[in-house]
Structure 1
Amino acid sequence: MQVWNGAGDVPENPGPSVATLGIFDGVHRGHQVVLAATVAEAENAGLSSVAVTFDPHPATVHRPEQDLALIASLTDRLERLEATGLDAVLVVPYTLTFARAKPEEFVREYLVELLQARTVVVGEDVRFGRDNTGDRATMVELGRQLGFSVEIVRDITSDTGRRWSSTWVRELLAAGDVAGAAHVLGRAHRVRGVVVHGARRGRELGYPTANLRADDLGVVPADGVYAGWLIRPDLERQPHDASVSKRLPAAISVGTNPTFHGVERTVEAHVLGRTDLDLYDEEVVVELVERLRPQVAFDGVPALLDQMADDVAKVAGILEVPAPARPTVPAHPGAAS
């Protein structure tokens, strides 16, 4: 899949296309239906399929004080868009100047002149142009004027009757329901960040962790302990080597470490049975599969260690991997550190 970062990256004559547009935060099941329709229409017509998306999220430009976290980073969004079979994605830098374009100006410049769209595929709730004044009726009328057809994909709902949406994903993650979020997304929710140095208590306790600052990761689920995977993207991009572990089973803690009176919210991933990994300064992906329990403060290190051993055993069962032996630790490991 080609990625065009701004209009200047688009080839001078990219050829006619079938295009769609949206923020596609999370690329959830509703997005996937629209994207699948775009790809199918392009294949049937012998044209290229192109999605137009925006970065940063428009809400962060218009209402920066809200500090909206993304469900998926741009890197993950592009990976998920590629998985739908698109030929290309145009990432439009979203600015206040760009936001002032009228619906007709945006459609004419980007969809018609730049991408040579023969068909535009949109969902029922599509909005575009200045103050979101363009909607599906606007797109149909512009298609008549500018010479392209419009395919409107009706809203697809879940078996509960609720419409698939990014709002729903955010609600589920705020409640810690990562399994429910995965159902809406069509895959496990993940966060991506660079491993930083922590207090090293996990290593002292026999459970070393890769630490990520929660405020840098987008939408992080509610505090608690989770089963999931730690993925090393840099290794995934290298030639296949069966001896190198790229996707590792992990017990994941989200919160402030209340047993040790912590204040900074972090995501910490302990790779089951591994004490040899050096992940500092490496970008990793943490994929969250299932929540085990909320995060609580324990009355001392022995109680915490018992719970950690139980958590690791449960994580192994959920992920269907061998449970590691309980580590041997010093009699008084880092209790005051």
Structure 2
Amino acid sequence: MQIWRGLDEVPDDFGRAAVTIGNFDGVHRGHQQVLAALVRTARETGSKPVAVTFDPHPARVHRPDTAPDLIMGIDDRIAALGGYGLEAVLVLHYTLEFAAQTPEEFVRNVFVDGLHTSAVVVGHDVRFGRGNAGDLSTMQDLGRRYGFDVVVVEEFREKDPGPLTEDEGAQRRCSSTWVREALDRGDVHTAAEILGRPHTMHGKVVHGAARGRALGFPTANLDHDSIGHIPSDGIYAGWLVDEAGTRWPAAISVGSNPTFVGVTRQVEAHVIDRPDEAPEDFDLYGQRVAVEFVERLRGMVAYRGPEALVEQMKVDVDQARRILATLAG
């Protein structure tokens, strides 16, 4: 898959493109449905499927103080998009000047002149151009004017088990907002249902206070620049994936650990059943790892002292081990 970081990187001989646009934060199941329709449309029209996305996220440009945390960073987003049969991803640098284009200017510059688009695949809620003035009707009008088809994808919906729904059988449109809501209440299971895979954070393993090691539960601490939406405080079962691609079962702690005073909020993963043959050589420091959240075990609790905390940690590790063994088996 080709990655273009601007229209000037699109090869002159690329040919006709079938295109979709979006932020694709999380590349959730709704996005996946659009991508599948894009690949089908490209095949039917003899075009090449291309996804157009933006960096930074538009919300971070228009309202930086209130923009939501991203579910995944741009590199992870591109990697995820690459798993759905695309020929290319075009990443457009999003600025206030870029955002000032009218809907027609955007379509003409990107779709018509830039990508020689034969078809655009979008959802009913597509918005584009200055002030999000362009909608589906605008896109269809511009398609007729500039000679490209507009393919509309029906919304992908999931049953909503969360507290936002009174009707137990209610359906909700898959969205990045819904993923964030689920993560903010620690419901990583629902987040995974929407995403189609476990929610994942990426970051560099750094040295911490070494309290876990002193208690017999050494942890890999993610640096504070780690990428990915942080779930609510608590203990989770999940996986740590090292730079070699090895997946280690893990008990993951998110929070400030209220048993100890003055601890800042952090994400740390204890690898369960570390290698016996050379435990001192099992060193993750400095590696960029992925931490996948599978199931929330409990909330964060302040214990009366380290002894009580150690006993609870043993229970947490045993529970995480059972959960992950079931999935691995």
Q: What TM-score do the two structures reach when normalised by structure 1?
A: 0.89
Q: Give 1:45 deviation, angstroms.
A: 2.5
Q: Distance in 1 between matches of 2:262 and 2:26?
A: 30
Hey, which bits of structure 1, 4+ residues long, moved more than 4 A?
none
Contact 1:19 1:51 in 2 (8 A): yes
Structure 2 unaligned runs (5+)?
160-169
| Alpha-carbon separation, structure 2, partners of 1:262 and 1:109 | 53
Cα deviation 1:185-230 (Å, max 9, x = unaligned): 1110011111111001111111111111456433110000000001
Aligned twin of 2:290: 285
214-223 or 69-78, which deviates more: 214-223
Aligned match of 2:299: 294
Q: Are residue 235 (structure 1) and residue 240 (structure 2) matched?
A: no
- 8 Å Cα contact 2:234/2:298 also seen in 1: yes
- Confirm whether residue 310 of structure 1 aligns to residue 315 of structure 2: yes
Q: CA deviation at 1:134?
A: 0.7
AA matched with 2:88 = A
* SS of corresponding position for 1:273: coil
**Aligned length, in residue pairs:** 312
Instruction: Quote the residue 2:182 is aligned against.
Output: 172
- Which residue number in structure 2 is paired with residue 8 of structure 1? 8
Distance 1:214 1:297 in 2: 23
Contact 1:120 1:150 in 2 (8 A): yes
CA offsets, 1:66-93, max 9 Å, x none? 1431011112211211111111100111
Correspondence list, 1:109-128, <5 A: 109-128=109-128
The normalised TM-score by structure 2 is: 0.92
In 2: Cα distance, 1:85 partner to 1:218 partner: 24
Residues 217-261 of structure 1 deviation map (CA, whole Å, 9 limit, x = unaligned):
3311000000000112x323xxxxxxxxx1111100000011112
1:37-89 superposed Cα distances (whole Å, 9 cap, x missing partner) = 00111122232100000011100001111143101111221121111111110
Pick from 192, 195, 198 the counterpart of residue 188 of structure 1.
Answer: 198
Is contact 2:198–2:294 with CA below 8 Å preserved after alignment? yes
- Residue 158 of structure 1 aligns to a residue whose secondary structure is strand
Aligned partner of 1:103 in structure 2 is 103
Q: Deviations over 1:145-200 (max 9, x none)?
A: 00101001122222431111111111100000000100011110011111111001
Q: 2:84 is aligned with what amino acid?
A: T
Identify the residue that residue 73 of structure 1 maps to in structure 2.
73
1:319 to 293, 303, 324: 324
Structure 2 Cα separation of the partners of residues 261 and 43 of structure 1: 60
TM-aligned CA deviation for residue 263 of structure 1? 3.6
> Match for 1:265: what amino acid?
R
Percent identity, please. 55
In 2, are the aligned partners of 1:28 and 1:164 still within 8 Å (CA)?
yes
Give distance in 1, aligned partners of 2:232 and 2:253: 10
State the shift of 1:293 in Å: 0.1
In structure 1, the residue matched to 2:219 is 209
The secondary structure found in structure 2 opposite 1:288 is: strand
Once residues 182 and 45 of structure 1 are traced to their aligned partners in structure 2, the CA distance between those partners, rounded to angstroms, is: 33
Which whole-Å CA distance do the structure 2 matches of 1:226 and 1:262 have between them? Answer: 22
Name the aligned partner's letter for residue 93 of structure 2: P
Q: Could you tell me how far apart the structure 2 residues matched to 1:215 and 1:307 are?
A: 29
CA distance in 2, matches of 1:214, 1:172: 22
Q: Distance in 1 between matches of 2:309 and 2:7?
A: 54
| Helix, strand or coil at the partner of 2:259 | helix
Contact kept, 8 Å, 2:201 with 2:226, in 1: the verdict is no
Instruction: Tell me the amino acid that sits aligned with residue 196 of structure 1.
Output: V
Cα RMSD, aligned residues only: 1.5
Name the SS of the counterpart of 1:162 in structure 2: strand
Partner residue, 1:45: 45
Residue 139 of structure 2: aligned partner = 139
Superposed CA deviations along residues 104-127 of structure 1, whole A, max 9, x for unmatched, are 111111111111110000011111
